Structure 1
Amino acid sequence: MATALVLLDIQRAILDPNIIKFQDTSIPATTVEAASALVAAARSVGMPVIHVGVTRPYIRGAFDAIRTSNAEAAGKAPRDILALAQRSKGIEFLIPPLGEEEVIYKIGVSAFAGTRLDQLLRNQSIQEIIVAGAFTHMVVESTVRSGFDLGYRMVVAKDACCAPARPPHENSFTTGIPNFAIVLDNTTLIEKVHKEGYVVDA
C-alpha cells in the first residue's frame, strides 16, 4: 500500500507562543520535535512528504468579513490575518521541505479544500495518508474527515499534533478523529514506517 506523510500548518505564525496563546508554551516545540522524527522516518524509506500550509490574501475582503463574522458569532476574537500573508515570515515551515517534496498553500481549513492535494496523492497512487500538525480540532480533524470521504485510509500521529489548549486537542481524539482515522503514538507509527513503509496492510 502506498503511503504519504502530510504535514499540516507547521508554520512559524501558527506555532509561535508569542503569537498564539498556548496553554503550555512547550507544546509547539514538543509537537515540532515529534513531527520532525516522523519526517525523518518517512524520508529514510522514501515515503512522499507533503507540506501543507495556510496563507492569506494581502487585501482584507469578503472572505475575511465572513470569517470575522463567524468568529464573533462563536465568541472568538478574530486574529490579524496578515501575519500569514504571502512572503511573510509567518508562513515559513518549521520543518523545511527538501528536494522534490511538494508544498501546498491553502486559504481554508481542510488541506483538501481548494487545493491540488488530492490530485498529487492520486498521481502517486497513494491510498494511505499519515497526517500531523496543527491544530488538532481544526485543520487536522477537518483534513481527516475530507480524506476519509475521498476514500483514503487516514492515520493520525497523535504526538505530532497539537492545539493551543489541551481540552480541544483531547476532545478531538476522543469524539471526532477516531471515527475517520487510525490514531497512533509516534513510537508505534515510526516503527511501522521503518519496518513496512506503511501503517496498515491492504
Structure 2
Amino acid sequence: MVVYVLGGPGAGKGTQCASLVSEYDFVHLSAGDLLRAEQKREGSQYGALIAEYIREGQVVPMEVTIKLLENAMKAAFEERKNSDHSGWTNGKGRFLIDGFPRKMDQALKFDEDVCPASFVLFFNCPEQELLKRLLERGKTSGRTDDNEESIKKRFKTFIETSMPVVDHYRAEGRVVEIDATPPVETVHTVVRAAMDAAFAVEKSKTL
C-alpha cells in the first residue's frame, strides 16, 4: 500500500505521518527530507541542483526525486524482509510518501515505474494559518526555506502544480480530504478513522 500525503507547507503532514507509522506499520518517506539529505551528502551529483530548486521554492526534477524514493523503498524492504511486521508479508509493504507527487507528471511516472498509489491523504488548511505555523517553525528549524519569501513561493508552487494532482485523484475517487486547521489531536482522530476505512476497503479487495 502506497499512500501519497499532500497538503500545503506547514499543514502538519509530517506530524500526522509520525503517528501513523507506529499505529499502522507504515514506513514514512518524506520527499523533502530525502532531497535535503541528498543535498548535504558529500559527493552528491545532485546536491547543487537540489539546493537551487529548494531555495527558489520550485519542484526538483522528477527523475531525481523518484530515484531517491525508489532507493529508500528498496532499503525498507531489505531491512524488513525477514521480519514479522504485520503489513510486510509476501513482498508487500506499507508506505506513506509525504510531499509527493508535487506535479502531475511525477504522479504518472511513479505509478508507472514504481507502483500505483492506493489513495491520496490530503491535508487542507488556509494559507494564512500555514504562513503563521511556518514562520513560528522557522525560529528553530534551521531550514533555509522557512522564511516569508520562500514560504510564499512554496505556496504559489503548491497551488499551481500540486493541486492539479489532488484534483486528478479526487476525480477518480481516490482522495481522503482532512481539515488540518484544528489542533493536532483532533486532526489525528479524523485521520485514524479515514485510515481504518481505507484498510477495510483494501482488505475487501483481497477477499
Which structure features the higher share of helix residues? Answer: 2
